[in-house]
């Protein structure tokens, strides 16, 4: 038996206490940076984790040091047994949060409140209805905005995830930040990242430097405040002086934060990805169904984690389609 304090520690001394579980590969939007235009081949339902299996595998991680779980997708609220999953996970006495596109929030808000899921990351890449339709291929903008306000009116802690794409929504950076003047939200600007089928190239990416340059041109230096970053941060945090909310920049490409990474991803079909960029996966579901102990398998997967971006140490590596496209599509990984 491997000692509990070593299972989730990699060769670089990083301790992994944050588990992101994808519940489903399906989504009710078709965001172009997430899903290939031709769609993806969905994993057969029998090969996906059941609610009981989600709980049991999550419990193994919690027993070994995980104290934070985030549920992702696809769109996690599409799972018909989502209330059952939340109820089971609430028994683990660990922080539970979700990432959602917001469309189904109103249907599940009472369940979230009942089981004390208070932290919500809501994906919203534009504040213009016509552009929302363009990026998502669906006409759901007003629904998402209504549900954003519903969450705030019910005292949820909301972060709004904005994937920036040059020439599409980079002219909305100031508009998003202006939302924080009167709303207690955190805007998260995310660099466009390469995944299978999303036609990534670096010219479409809006870097942290470009974002800060826009801010400097609009806000005075005395009004732009650098906040203390969270432990194991992904976003470098800022706010505008006297604004109610804040904003952060997630710069996985130009300014990665791998040194403090504490995250593990579990796909909907029960495979560990020890890095978002990794093309290698470790199957937990099959051995679990065979009655095998999975702790040593988890330990091996964590031990094999690379120091930076699954071994893509330079921007030239990230630019290389042989490397950057040898991965799942984002929708099949989990946000």
Please report the pLDDT score of residue 195 as a whole number.
Answer: 54
Residue 12 lies inside a defined structural domain of this protein? no
CATH of the domain at 112: 3.20.20.70
Q: Give dist(CA 331, CA 233) in Å, integer.
A: 23
Q: Give dist(CA 165, CA 117) in Å, integer.
A: 31
Residue 172 lies inside a defined structural domain of this protein? yes
Residue 2 lies inside a defined structural domain of this protein? no
Residue 9 lies inside a defined structural domain of this protein? no
**Contacts for 259 with CB less than 8 Å, ≥ 6 apart:** 14
For residue 160, the enclosing domain spans 18-332
Residue 35 lies inside a defined structural domain of this protein? yes
Q: How many domains does the chain have?
A: 1
Residue 5 lies inside a defined structural domain of this protein? no
Residue 132 lies inside a defined structural domain of this protein? yes
Q: Give dist(CA 259, CA 8) in Å, integer.
A: 15
227-271 pLDDT, tens digit per residue, is: 998 888 888 999 999 999 999 999 878 777 788 999 999 999 999
Residue 13 lies inside a defined structural domain of this protein? no
89-98 pLDDT, tens digit per residue, is: 999 989 999 9
Q: Is the pLDDT of residue 123 over 90?
A: yes
How many angstroms from the chain centroid is the CA of residue 124? Answer: 13
Q: Give dist(CA 260, CA 254) in Å, integer.
A: 16
Query: What global pTM score does this model have?
Result: 0.90
- 291 half-sphere exposure, CB direction, 13 A CA radius: 0
Question: What ranges in the chain are assigned the alpha helix state H?
Answer: 4-7, 51-63, 82-89, 105-114, 129-136, 141-153, 173-179, 208-218, 285-289, 295-303, 315-319, 321-324, 330-333
Q: Give dist(CA 122, CA 110) in Å, integer.
A: 17
180-191 pLDDT, tens digit per residue, is: 999 999 999 998
């Amino acid at each position: 038996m491997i000692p509990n304090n070593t299972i989730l520690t990699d060769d670089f001394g990083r301790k992994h206490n944050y588990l992101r579980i994808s519940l489903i590969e399906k989504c009710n939007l078709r965001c172009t940076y997430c899903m290939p235009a031709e769609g993806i081949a969905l994993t057969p339902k029998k090969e996906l984790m059941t609610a009981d299996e989600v709980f049991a595998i999550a419990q193994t991680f919690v027993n070994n040091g995980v104290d934070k779980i985030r549920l992702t997708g696809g769109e996690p609220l599409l799972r018909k047994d989502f209330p059952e999953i939340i109820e089971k996970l609430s028994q683990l006495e660990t922080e539970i949060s979700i990432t959602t596109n917001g469309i189904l929030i109103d249907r599940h808000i009472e369940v979230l409140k009942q089981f004390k899921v208070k932290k919500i990351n809501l994906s919203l890449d534009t504040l213009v209805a016509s552009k929302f339709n363009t990026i998502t291929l669906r006409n759901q903008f007003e629904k998402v905005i209504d549900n954003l306000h519903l969450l705030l009116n019910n005292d949820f802690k909301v972060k709004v995830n904005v994937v920036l794409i040059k020439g599409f929504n980079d002219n909305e950076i100031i508009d998003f930040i202006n939302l924080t003047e009167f709303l207690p939200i955190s805007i998260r600007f995310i660099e466009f990242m390469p995944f299978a089928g999303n036609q990534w190239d670096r010219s479409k990416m809006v870097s942290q430097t470009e974002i800060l340059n826009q801010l400097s041109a609009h806000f005075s230096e005395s009004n732009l405040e650098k906040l203390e970053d969270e432990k194991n941060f992904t976003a470098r945090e800022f706010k505008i002086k006297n604004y109610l909310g804040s904003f952060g920049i997630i710069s996985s490409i130009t300014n990665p934060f791998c040194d403090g990474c504490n995250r593990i991803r579990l796909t909907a079909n029960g495979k560990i990805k020890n890095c978002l960029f990794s093309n290698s996966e470790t199957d937990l579901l099959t051995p679990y169904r065979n009655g095998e102990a999975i702790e040593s398998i988890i330990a091996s997967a964590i031990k094999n984690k690379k120091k930076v971006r699954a071994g893509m140490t330079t921007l030239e590596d990230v630019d290389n389609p042989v490397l950057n496209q040898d991965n799942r599509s984002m929708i099949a990984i989990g946000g």
